[in-house]
Amino acid sequence: MASIRRTLSPYHDRTYQNGEDPYSPKLFPSSKYSSPLQDFAARFRRFLGYPPRKGQHGWRRAFYRCLFFFFLGFLLGLVPFGHVDGDDIRAQSHDFFEIKPPLLNVHQKDLVLAHQREASDDRVLVGEVSLGERVRSDLVPRKQLIVVTPTYDRALQAYFLNRLGQVLRLVPPPLLWIVVETKAASMETAEILRKTGVMYRHLVCAHNSTNVKDRGVHQRNTALDHIERHRLDGIVYFADDDNIYSLDLFHSLREISRFGTWPVAMVEQSKNKAILEGPVCNGSQIVGWHTNEKSKRLRRFHVDMSGFAFNSTILWDPKRWRRPTPVPIRQLDTVKEGFQETTFIQQVVEDESQMEGIPPSCSRIINWHLHMEARHIAYPRHWLLQKNLDVVLPIN
């Protein structure tokens, strides 16, 4: 029996039209016939942005690429690549600012001088620390000063207000300047107040009085009404515009807790001599009074109107100061001239034990009452003179 045996396929040696092998990868594009390295290379080329083939969406590949690099950068940012010690940074900073002197031959005497310099540097550093503590103590809020000034139309009004305004401008804030006029608030006074740069309130007294004594009393009472109604917290001081004040006075006012007083240098109405009116102090304690006028020896407290100041809460918080009566504290226009001060003070304090003398021991004069008022000089009409003042003076 005959048998036929095939060892090779009859089609193995057959050639095709294009001359390619039937088992060529080009004829079988499936992945199982392609190399994994070639497949990865092709995908990576497409990922790097080479033009896609027809029918593929390029925007998706760009979106996925951006998303991949975003997460890659985020993960790399979380990886700790090293550790920096704070002590090393401080050491490097000291080395950066350190100035190294050149090497010299140093003798024993020079070493002693160097040690002395180091000791002096240490003392300077201790001083700086104490200064820093002092600066921190200055951060305590300052007490507000409430300066009350009655004013009225007269020849030297602008001069007096400008002078007082320039002094108050130098006082550290907070400071409130309450200026009270009669009849109406004049534009000239308002302009002066705006130019001073001081925080102010321009009030008008409703009482129309021609008497100088009553006019000042009502103007101050108008300011007291305003302070009580708005519950302003601070140290109230009656500062007439014709007096002279030092900056030390306003610095000392902030040391007052309830009621403070000090001596005032005055010139008599006749301007023949100067007198001193105010307290005699032992430290901050009131032990007596200065007075030279016989007509005023009947007063309980010998103080000028510009020689005392008090806490504003006494006006609107009687329970805090244990006042026996809630009657408003005001100046009286029914008493004789020269007694307004003592009758007002008797409403604020009971005796000298509730007073404080400033400055310590009342050792300095910090304001002056000179009576420089020119009462018989009136304003020129419309701020102009009727006659021509041009005068030709011969030169000798």
More confident residue, 81 or 352: 352
Q: Per the domain annotation, does 117 fall within a domain? A: no
As separate numbers, helices (DSSP H) first and strands (DSSP E) second, the chain gives 11, 12
How confident is residue 89, by pLDDT bands cut at 50, 70 and 90?
very low
Q: What is the pLDDT of residue 379?
A: 53
Domain that holds residue 301: 145-369
pLDDT at 391 over 90: no
Q: What is the pLDDT of residue 18?
A: 46
For 264-291, write each residue's pLDDT tens digit.
998 876 667 788 899 999 999 999 998 8
pLDDT at 90 over 50: no
Contacts of 263-267 spanning 24+ positions with Cβ under 8 A: 263/290, 263/307, 263/362, 263/365, 264/303, 264/304, 264/306, 264/307, 264/365, 264/367, 264/368, 264/369, 265/365, 265/367, 265/368, 265/369, 266/304, 266/368, 266/369, 266/370, 266/371, 267/369, 267/370, 267/371
Q: What is the pLDDT of residue 77?
A: 79
Q: Per the domain annotation, does 248 fall within a domain? A: yes
Q: What is the pLDDT of residue 158?
A: 93
Q: Angle at which helices 187-196 and 157-169 pack, to 10 degrees? A: 20
- Token output for 64: 């996925």
Pairing label, strands 175-182, 200-205: parallel
Residue 251: exposure state from Cβ atoms within 10 A (0-12, 13-18, ≥19): middle
Q: Binding site, residues?
A: 242
Q: Per the domain annotation, does 263 fall within a domain? A: yes
In the chain, the number of structural domains is 1
Q: What is the pLDDT of residue 99?
A: 44
Give the other-Cβ count within 10 Å of 364's Cβ. 14
pLDDT at 382 over 60: no
More confident residue, 323 or 395: 323
For 195-228, write each residue's pLDDT tens digit.
999 999 999 998 877 666 678 999 999 999 999 9
- Token output for 256: 């007052």
Residue with tokens 């011969």, as numbered in its chain:
394
Q: What is the pLDDT of residue 217?
A: 93
Task: Write the CB contacts of 64 (distance below 8 Å, at least 6 apart in sequence).
Answer: none
Side-chain-side CA neighbours of residue 391 (13 Å): 5
Q: Per the domain annotation, does 50 fall within a domain? A: no
Q: Per the domain annotation, does 316 fall within a domain? A: yes
What mean pLDDT comes out for the span 371-375?
64
Q: Is 373 a catalytic residue?
A: no
Give the other-Cβ count within 10 Å of 309's Cβ. 27
Q: What is the pLDDT of residue 244?
A: 94
What mean pLDDT comes out for the span 63-74?
80
The Cα–Cα gap between 239 and 244 comes to 9
DSSP annotation of 214: H
How confident is residue 370, by pLDDT bands cut at 50, 70 and 90?
confident
What mean pLDDT comes out for the span 230-242?
96
The share of the chain scoring above pLDDT 70, in percent, equals: 61
More confident residue, 148 or 184: 148
- Token output for 213: 């004594």
Pairing label, strands 264-267, 367-369: parallel
- Token output for 167: 């002094």
More confident residue, 353 or 38: 353
How confident is residue 116, by pLDDT bands cut at 50, 70 and 90?
low
Residue 185 sits in a domain whose CATH number is 3.90.550.10
For 154-194, write each residue's pLDDT tens digit.
888 999 999 999 999 999 999 999 999 998 999 999 999 99
Q: What is the pLDDT of residue 252?
A: 95
Selecting among 181, 277, 341, 356, the annotated active-site residue is 341
Q: Binding site for Mn(2+), residues?
A: 242
Range with the poorest average pLDDT among 13-17, 255-259, 284-288: 13-17
Q: What is the pLDDT of residue 57?
A: 58
How confident is residue 50, by pLDDT bands cut at 50, 70 and 90?
low
Q: Per the domain annotation, does 20 fall within a domain? A: no
Range with the poorest average pLDDT among 7-11, 79-83, 161-165: 7-11
Rounded to 5°, angle at Cα 250 from 303 and 289? 20
The three-state secondary structure class of 352 is helix
Q: Per the domain annotation, does 305 fall within a domain? A: yes
Range with the poorest average pLDDT among 138-142, 166-170, 235-239: 138-142
DSSP annotation of 234: S
Find which of 28-32, 235-239, 288-292, 332-336 is predicted with most confidence, using mean pLDDT.
235-239
pLDDT at 147 over 90: yes
How confident is residue 375, by pLDDT bands cut at 50, 70 and 90?
low
Q: Per the domain annotation, does 212 fall within a domain? A: yes
